């Protein structure tokens, strides 16, 4: 669901700056804090703040090698909704996730940062409100409790119980320390229910692997 200051689908831009970052996931309705310090990305933020405030988050397909690593074609656009400057020349921003996109073309570099032509059409429904219908919330929470226990993660379960299913799925997908390829699978899941299913499968596989490892050490 879009906010008061968010663009309508018809007003989405025809090009967007992209920020490749391994292991970082932005999803629609998610909040992503970023610490910006490279000169080219400082300039990217300057330009975005002077325009629609939108940036596309994408992941490299492999290790970050060189200035222009190969990137996945699917990313998520976010809007800068908070901004601060540090005394040592960094920008501290928050991106609010809006809508995913497929990269159809990359344009020439702009002051060192990358710019892409996005195809928004496959993800139009990202701007609509999702209710979490069809998601097995109890199974998700059971898997999450086991995962947090194994990984020694403290969680505010009262806050988790009070969070709507749609926001919980997206927040957990962004927060949990999954592998970059797994985070990409979460991003590319067609619907919220599909994303929840992928996440539960990842949590349960992690728990099963931990059980197998524990059994090996006992034998």
Per the listing, tokens 């921003």 go with 93
Block mean pLDDT (10 aa), the chain, length 219: 82 98 95 97 98 98 80 98 97 98 98 98 92 91 93 90 93 93 97 96 90 52
The DSSP H or E segment spanning 201 is helix 192-218
pLDDT at 130: 80
pLDDT at 216: 46
What is the rounded CA–CA span in Å between residue 11 and residue 30? Answer: 21
pLDDT at 209: 82
Widest Cα–Cα separation across the chain = 62
pLDDT tens digit sequence for 134-193: 999 999 999 999 999 988 888 899 999 999 999 999 999 999 989 999 999 999 999 999
**Nearest Cα to Cα of residue 155 among 176, 129, 178, 131:** 176
Domain boundaries, the chain: 9-127, 137-218
Question: Residues 77, 102: contact at Cβ < 8 Å?
Answer: no
- Written as one string, the DSSP assignment of 83-124 is EEE-TTS-EEEEEEEEEEEEEEEE---BTTBEEEEEE-GGGG
pLDDT at 2: 60
Task: Assign domain 9-127 to its CATH superfamily.
Answer: LON domain-like (2.30.130.40)
Strands 16-20 and 114-119: antiparallel
**Nearest Cα to Cα of residue 86 among 152, 35, 155:** 35
pLDDT at 132: 84
Question: Residues 33, 84: contact at Cβ < 8 Å?
Answer: no
What is the rounded CA–CA span in Å between residue 105 and residue 45? Answer: 21
User: Cα dist. 169→16, 80, 132, 144 in Å?
Assistant: 26, 22, 9, 11
Q: What is the CA radius of gyration of the chain?
A: 18
Q: Which residues contact residue 188 at a Cβ distance below 8 angstroms, ignoring those fewer than 6 apart?
A: 74
């Amino acid at each position: 669901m879009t906010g008061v200051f968010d663009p309508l689908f018809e007003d989405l831009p025809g090009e967007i700056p992209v920020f490749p970052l391994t292991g970082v996931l932005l999803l629609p309705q998610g909040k992503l804090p970023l610490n910006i310090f490279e000169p080219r990305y400082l300039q990217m933020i300057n330009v975005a703040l002077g325009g629609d405030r939108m940036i596309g988050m994408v992941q490299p397909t492999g290790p970050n090698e060189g200035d222009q690593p190969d990137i996945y074609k699917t990313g998520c656009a976010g809007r800068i909704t908070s901004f601060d400057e540090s005394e040592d020349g960094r920008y501290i921003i928050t991106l609010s996730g809006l809508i995913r996109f497929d990269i159809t073309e990359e344009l020439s570099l702009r002051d060192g940062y990358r710019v892409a032509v996005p195809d928004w059409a496959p993800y139009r429904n990202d701007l609509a409100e999702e209710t979490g219908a069809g998601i097995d919330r109890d199974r998700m929470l059971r898997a999450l409790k086991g995962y947090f226990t194994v990984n020694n993660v403290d969680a505010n379960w009262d806050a988790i119980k009070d969070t709507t299913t749609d926001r919980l799925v997206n927040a957990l997908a962004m927060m949990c320390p999954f592998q970059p390829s797994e985070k990409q699978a979460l991003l590319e899941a067609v619907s919220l229910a599909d994303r929840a299913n992928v996440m539960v499968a990842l949590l349960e596989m992690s728990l099963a692997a931990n059980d197998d490892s524990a059994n090996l050490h006992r034998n």
